[in-house]
Structure 1
């Protein structure tokens, strides 16, 4: 185990999620099995005597709260590593906002609706998913493992997030962040694209990406990915009771009360380059193991 990762501090906003992750015997057994060395999901399946889909689901839960780290390895699949031996818990204080936040991390390939045109594609750790520049590849089940998705010109991808907080308190603020950039053939550093984010059909603002970045290798981009897009820019949209914001600056007058949020309905988050945009320069959307930022699409609730 990496000596630099022996201790891990759990901030108060993550206490409930971490406690839920630790309240299951199988997940504790996974952590125990990983105490000696990293293992693939297949190896964990053999050691624990549990079906692989069950192991995969529980590995994902541990990964979401930062108790294990995973990385795709050619020929071995997903490799899981335990990141700490000891947890240090920050208990909430009064007055406190500590238990009033919730984060959901959505893999870039888990969209529920899309409209794209060629050139387009998806890539996982083993290479292109389906066929490059074939929009029908966006229907393939392997899309769930995508590290990067892209489309040119105009189009969109839309994600269905759960209403992930208790229904007895209203949501005061939502934040959506993702690593994104334009999409050109190969890459073109000066290639603007107007990328609009909407929630439940309401536009929160349009970010103009200055280009499709490929001159410098992305810090997380796999070594086998030669040429082409390398990284994007972390971009955040937010909405509260007063207005909507793009990277912290006011963008539209849409307020959170206009979104029609309901505990029994999904929250629809759409990344779109509109057909009438001034710069129809496509979109690259990066997962946590590609580009420069180690995160998937993130939705943060504040109550």
Structure 2
């Protein structure tokens, strides 16, 4: 589950602000349990347990099912979430001017992918899933999501810097996750990034998230496949290396881009020899939790 610090996330924070509810989560992490068994384990009444269960269910942390029991239907509680990521706003003040471009996820200029793989617009799948040839379908330009197990997609965007403008920093942000045939919140994938042929480093995605529906994921999209990713920002600095969300990724600096060309060439890849070959899912506008494409920012003075 991915949260932010908006009011939309308050039900989850409120649900976690209770010793009793935290104990319920710990118990449900081991077994599915009914109200009576939870009440016995916690040494409180079934009525109180029911109130706490309702709060956790409203927050989307658990789900309940009614199944036949000895004395009629019984309510079984099941934990839905195995991890929570909280996104804080980036508070970075730049004294530089910048150029910004937005690259739709389907606007790659080259690719080599292996199944499981596929693409979709906000209204339908493009061709057949697990058929790499559809990555060359003309409809790919309208794709709002794509996924593959190993290989790469390569994007290009114009370098808008003028001759007298000095490059100070580059930021590239995108919503991304691993790729599992359905979903798996614990499915690591080593995803590598390069810019103009220079290796920026490798980040390990923790999983392919399906514990909650993506905020912008269209209604027709199946509930049992990729729902949302994590919003990540690559930052190539002038002197301090390359970071991903503030964590060091490599020693690559702006000075390593000595011969800046007219085009920025950005590649996202899962290498065949990676320790964790867990795939990539890229979420663009109309999918996931962030209604954006790949955003490329160049800061200059």
Q: Give 1:126 deviation, angstroms.
A: 2.4
CA distance in 2, matches of 1:286, 1:194: 17
Q: Is the 8 A contact 1:204 1:238 kept in 2?
A: no
- For the pair 1:299 / 2:272, whether they are aligned, the reply is no
Which structure 2 residues correspond to residues 1-303 of structure 1 after superposition, within 5 A? 100-152=97-149, 154-226=150-222, 227-242=224-239, 243-263=241-261, 265-303=262-300
Count of aligned pairs: 206
Query: Which structure 2 residue ranges, 5 or more long, are not aligned?
Result: 1-92
CA distance in 2, matches of 1:135, 1:216: 28
CA distance in 1, matches of 2:292, 2:259: 25
Q: Is the 8 A contact 2:214 2:288 kept in 1?
A: yes
Query: Which structure 1 residue ranges, 5 or more long, are not aligned?
Result: 1-95
Q: Is the 8 A contact 1:216 1:230 kept in 2?
A: yes
Per the alignment, residue 70 of structure 2 pairs with none
Q: Give 1:240 deviation, angstroms.
A: 1.9
SS of aligned partner of 2:167: coil
Q: Give 1:97 deviation, angstroms.
A: 5.8
Q: Give 1:167 deviation, angstroms.
A: 2.4
CA distance in 1, matches of 2:264, 2:168: 15
Q: Give 1:104 deviation, angstroms.
A: 0.7
CA distance in 2, matches of 1:100, 1:248: 21
SS of aligned partner of 1:127: coil
Residues 179-205 of structure 1: CA distance to partner in whole angstroms, max 9, x if unpaired? 000001111111110111110121222
Runs of 4+ in 1 over 2 A off after TM superposition: 96-99, 259-263
SS of aligned partner of 1:166: coil
Q: Is the 8 A contact 1:156 1:270 kept in 2?
A: yes
CA distance in 1, matches of 2:95, 2:291: 23
Q: Is the 8 A contact 2:169 2:299 kept in 1?
A: yes
Residues 39-93 of structure 1: CA distance to partner in whole angstroms, max 9, x if unpaired? xxxxxxxxxxxxxxxxxxxxxxxxxxxxxxxxxxxxxxxxxxxxxxxxxxxxxxx
CA distance in 2, matches of 1:127, 1:261: 42
Tell me which structure has the larger Cα radius of gyration. Answer: 2
The two structures have a TM-score, normalised by structure 1, of 0.65
CA distance in 1, matches of 2:103, 2:145: 13
Q: Is the 8 A contact 1:116 1:156 kept in 2?
A: yes
- Please tell me the root mean square deviation across aligned C-alpha atoms, in Å: 1.6
Q: Is the 8 A contact 2:123 2:218 kept in 1?
A: no
CA distance in 2, matches of 1:182, 1:99: 34
